[in-house]
Structure 1
Amino acid sequence: MDLKEKVAYITGGTKGIGFGIAECLLEQGMRVAISGRGREGVDNAVQQLNAKGKVMGLVSDVTRLQDEEQAADTILKEWGQLDVVIANAGVGHFSSIDEMESDHWHQMINTNLNGVFHTLKASVEALKKSEGYYMTVASLAGTNFFAQGAGYNATKFGVVGFTQAAMLDLRKYNIKATTIMPGSVASHFNQNEPSEKDYWKIQPEDIGRLVIDLLLMHPRTLPSKIEVRPTRPDLK
């Protein structure tokens, strides 16, 4: 794929992994739309990214299909195509299953799992036309269960399964689909404030570079599921 002037849409793109991916794609000459749930966060991210290239900020809640449909329509009206869609938005709440709040369970299901479906559903026809690429950002929690992670594990196991099945459905249209499963990332996830203490973790731009490598891979080859870990977690 020649990345120059290609169009990407990244959910949860205002900070963390989504923001890091956006930076890397803009540096490759792509046009990038990012979305988030709040206007202030979206505008702040766009302001930071503007110097790197053509960026569009959209307010969209991935738990609502109509929001994602409107986001895709806006991108198509403005830029005429949609080549890469990255379903990155996610939330996490961690507690023992006997203490887990129902609201937290449903928020994770609605964002992490329903959200990836809504994003693909809203964009799949555009991806058929562009023979594009759909990616989800899952987690190592999508293959490794742990105590106090029942809700998060359930959603990320679901994202991995959803993406792999979608890959089988969509490759006949020359659409690629990959799920990326990071371990610890220096992001704002789970109320973390990134700082020097996170030096040992995967950095958001590392995931961005991985996305570029996937996009530049020969069309005959599809890495459909990628696990990514910090090299030295013992240094934390």
Structure 2
Amino acid sequence: MTDKKTIYITGGTKGIGYGVAEILLKNGYAVAFSGRKEEDVKRAEEQLSQISEDVLGVVSDVKNFEDEVNAAKKAVEKFGRVDSVIANAGLGVFKPVDQLSLDDWNSMIDTNLTGIFHTLKAFVEELKKSEGYYISISSLAGTNFFESGAGYNASKFGAVGFTQAAMIDLRKYNIKAVTIMPGSVSTHFNGNEPSEKDAWKIQPEDLGDVIMNVFNMNPRALTSKIEIRPTRPNS
């Protein structure tokens, strides 16, 4: 149990999710996070616990609703509460539509779109109690289509639409639904290995700062959709 506000983050073992977890822990929040692989969850939990002992790693694949139900149960068992949820887990496969396989399509839709529904569905009753935030991490690809992006665009356009409609459904409970749409972020996404070459990109901790700004707003005001991009593109 804790008196700290508790945040649950999907895809928290690396990249955006991990960077957001770091910022939240440093600002006095308790954090539960999930990842698909047990070894990654254990590694991230050990690293994050050096910032604060109020951290919990859970193995969960957002494609499986029961995994998220279990994550909600474990978070409440440890912390006694879940104040806000950040649906961050995602993946991308970038191929021309005629070369996109059924597995490619299904993996993106099941993770990037169905996954954020599973997370909300599993945690919504806790959010009704806390009157907190449901934040989905979408992408500028959720409003800007591009070559070889048909599957990814579809999943992220869907994520934006889902979260914005959920915002309208849930605000009567004082749940504040927000979608954040980053441009290029320095992560391991799509096989990238972050290095100095990515210094021009948004950094994961930058998105942590954005989320802190959202949390610090007066609850009567809601920033329901946020676009964020690098100040200057790589040239």
Q: TM-score range by the shorter chain?
A: over 0.9
Deviation at 1:202, TM superposition (A): 0.2
Report the Cα distance in structure 2 between the residues aligned to 1:200 and 1:165, rounded to whole angstroms. Answer: 33
Pairwise CA RMSD: 0.8
User: Runs of 5+ in structure 1 lacking a partner?
Assistant: none
Report the Cα distance in structure 1 between the residues aligned to 2:70 and 2:234, rounded to whole angstroms. Answer: 45
In the alignment, what sits opposite 1:18?
A: 17
In the alignment, what sits opposite 2:65?
A: 65
Deviation at 1:234, TM superposition (A): 3.6
Report the AA paired with residue 5 of structure 1.
K
In the alignment, what sits opposite 1:45?
A: 44
In the alignment, what sits opposite 2:82?
A: 82
In the alignment, what sits opposite 1:97?
A: 97
Report the 3-state secondary structure (helix = DSSP H, G, I; strand = E; otherwise coil) of the residue aligned with 1:178: strand
Deviation at 1:220, TM superposition (A): 1.0
Deviation at 1:122, TM superposition (A): 0.1
1:217-232 correspondence runs (5 A): 217-232=217-232
Deviation at 1:47, TM superposition (A): 1.1
Report the 3-state secondary structure (helix = DSSP H, G, I; strand = E; otherwise coil) of the residue aligned with 2:99: coil
In the alignment, what sits opposite 2:171?
A: 171
Report the AA paired with residue 224 of structure 1.
S
Report the 3-state secondary structure (helix = DSSP H, G, I; strand = E; otherwise coil) of the residue aligned with 2:97: coil
Report the Cα distance in structure 2 between the residues aligned to 1:190 and 1:153, rounded to whole angstroms. Answer: 15
1:132-171 correspondence runs (5 A): 132-171=132-171
In the alignment, what sits opposite 1:207?
A: 207
User: Which 10-residue stretch deviates more, 226-235 or 87-96?
Assistant: 226-235
In the alignment, what sits opposite 2:194?
A: 194
Report the 3-state secondary structure (helix = DSSP H, G, I; strand = E; otherwise coil) of the residue aligned with 2:136: strand
Report the AA paired with residue 28 of structure 1.
N
Report the Cα distance in structure 2 between the residues aligned to 1:223 and 1:72, rounded to whole angstroms. Answer: 25
Report the AA paired with residue 114 of structure 2.
N
Deviation at 1:51, TM superposition (A): 1.2
Instruction: Provide TM-score, normalisation by structure 2.
Output: 0.98
Deviations 1:15-69, CA, capped at 9 Å, x for gaps: 0000010000001111101100000000111111111111100000000000000
User: Runs of 5+ in structure 2 lacking a partner?
Assistant: none
Poorly superposed stretches of 4+, deviation over 2 Å: none
Deviations 1:164-193, CA, capped at 9 Å, x for gaps: 000000011011010000000000101000
Report the AA paired with residue 126 of structure 2.
A
Matched residue pairs, number?
A: 232
Instruction: Provide TM-score, normalisation by structure 1.
Output: 0.97
**Identical amino acids, percent of aligned pairs:** 62
Report the AA paired with residue 77 of structure 1.
E
